């Protein structure tokens, strides 16, 4: 038997009212069905428009005064080293290359997922690679070529970084790995300073992103920066160590996620070119002298600037299962891992 649905259609006067609201720039909610007739969308859909406004139900509209013009995604890769300072295995216990492939693929998938929403922004991916196998780099390049995303692959020249000072670990292999990591960090900062004009997202190659990650970060940046009248740092990961501390946090609303202020992060973070310029000397300290913890200069910056991370996490950090910097709570880790597998072509 065919199901007959009783659909309430708006009468003539209501339609006229909706049209008038649309003309004068008002968005209204029909609470009988939680639709926004002026936008033609349900209330739980994405109601925001980058560079124009952000709408959070029931909090209302934020006019975007800090628009994002461009986004450079700088990914540091190395498929030949598992963990820089440890011999432990990562979750899923795969070769390091697999984490690199899936991390890059997850960013591609995230850019594709919100392709129409992000089309106003100039986006480019940079790969800064150290010592990956030739066949791995070919696979990365081929995967990027299948997209319409601009990209560039650069090889790290370690000989340019003789001045880097690492701590004595009585292990030449670990000290060498740390030096290459610090050189890669410096190269990514140098690249951002030369090439970038607005937002820069520094990414390590063991972070797998949810499909909504990039849009949520950009949208949250515009909204919260507009509300606070400040540039930001964004950490995309809800690290487990954040739940082992009792630091006070301010809770903020992004597009579809809650965000909280934090005073620590690792080296996967997003920020603006203006903050990179402002704190250049502090940032490059991480690539000149090894600190304990390594990110100490970055944490010192967070004492003066806003850094936020999402609840729940937008990324999965693929390190050892017991790491306090690893798996974020309340995330479907297996699903996220499986849906970002890279298919050989």
Q: What is the pLDDT of residue 40?
A: 74
The domain spans of the chain are 12-45, 70-338
Residue bearing the bigger pLDDT, 221 or 56: 221
Q: Parallel, antiparallel, or unpaired for β 53-56 and 60-63? A: antiparallel
% of the chain beyond a pLDDT of 90: 65
Q: Residue 332 contacts by C-beta under 8 Å, 6 or more apart in sequence? A: none
Reference 200, options 130, 128, 293; nearest CA is 128
Tell me the sheet residues that pair with 253.
258
* Cα 238 to Cα 251: distance, rounded to the nearest angstrom: 13
> What's the whole-number mean pLDDT along residues 162-179?
62
* List of E strands, 156-272: 199-204, 207-209, 232-234, 251-253, 258-261, 269-272
Q: What's the mean per-residue pLDDT of the chain?
A: 87
% of the chain beyond a pLDDT of 70: 85
Condensed to tens digits (0 to 9), the pLDDT of residues 192-241 reads: 999 999 999 999 999 999 999 999 999 999 999 999 999 999 999 999 99
Q: At what angle do helices 213-228 and 96-113 cross, to 10 degrees?
A: 60
| Residue 102: strand, helix, or coil | helix
Residue bearing the bigger pLDDT, 263 or 342: 263
- Which of 50-64, 71-85, 109-123, 185-199 has the lowest average pLDDT? 71-85
Condensed to tens digits (0 to 9), the pLDDT of residues 128-139 reads: 999 899 999 999
Condensed to tens digits (0 to 9), the pLDDT of residues 65-99 reads: 999 999 999 999 999 876 655 567 899 999 999 99
* Fold (topology level) of 70-338: Spore Coat Polysaccharide Biosynthesis Protein SpsA; Chain A (3.90.550)
């Amino acid at each position: 038997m065919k199901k007959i649905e009783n659909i309430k259609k708006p009468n003539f006067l209501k339609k006229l009212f909706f049209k008038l609201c649309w003309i004068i720039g008002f968005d209204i909610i029909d609470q009988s069905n939680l639709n926004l007739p002026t936008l033609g969308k349900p209330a739980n859909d994405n109601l925001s428009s980058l560079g124009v406004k952000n709408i959070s139900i029931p909090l209302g509209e934020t006019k975007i005064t800090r628009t994002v013009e461009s986004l450079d995604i700088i990914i540091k890769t190395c498929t030949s080293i598992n963990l820089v300072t440890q011999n432990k295995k990562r979750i899923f216990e795969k070769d390091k290359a697999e984490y690199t492939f899936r991390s890059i693929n997850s960013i591609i998938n995230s850019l594709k997922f919100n392709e129409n929403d992000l089309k106003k922004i100039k986006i480019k991916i940079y790969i800064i690679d150290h010592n990956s196998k030739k066949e791995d780099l070919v696979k990365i390049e081929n995967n990027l070529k299948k997209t319409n995303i601009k990209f560039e692959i650069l090889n790290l020249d370690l000989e340019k970084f003789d001045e880097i000072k690492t701590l004595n670990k009585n292990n030449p292999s670990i000290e060498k790995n740390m030096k290459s990591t610090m050189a890669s960090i410096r190269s990514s900062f140098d690249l951002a300073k030369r090439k970038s004009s607005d937002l820069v997202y520094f990414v390590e190659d063991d972070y797998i992103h949810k499909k909504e990650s990039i849009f949520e970060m950009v949208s949250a940046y515009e909204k919260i920066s507009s509300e606070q009248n400040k540039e930001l740092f964004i950490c995309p990961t809800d690290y487990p160590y954040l739940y082992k501390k009792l630091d006070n946090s301010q809770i903020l609303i992004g597009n579809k996620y809650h965000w909280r202020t934090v005073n620590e992060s690792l080296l996967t973070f997003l920020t603006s070119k203006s903050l990179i310029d402002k704190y250049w000397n502090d940032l490059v300290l991480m690539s000149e002298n090894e600190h304990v913890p390594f990110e100490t200069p970055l944490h010192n910056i967070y004492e003066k600037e806003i850094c936020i991370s999402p609840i729940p996490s937008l990324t999965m950090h693929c390190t050892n299962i017991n790491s306090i910097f690893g798996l974020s709570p309340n995330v479907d880790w297996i699903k996220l891992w499986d849906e970002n597998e890279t298919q050989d072509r």
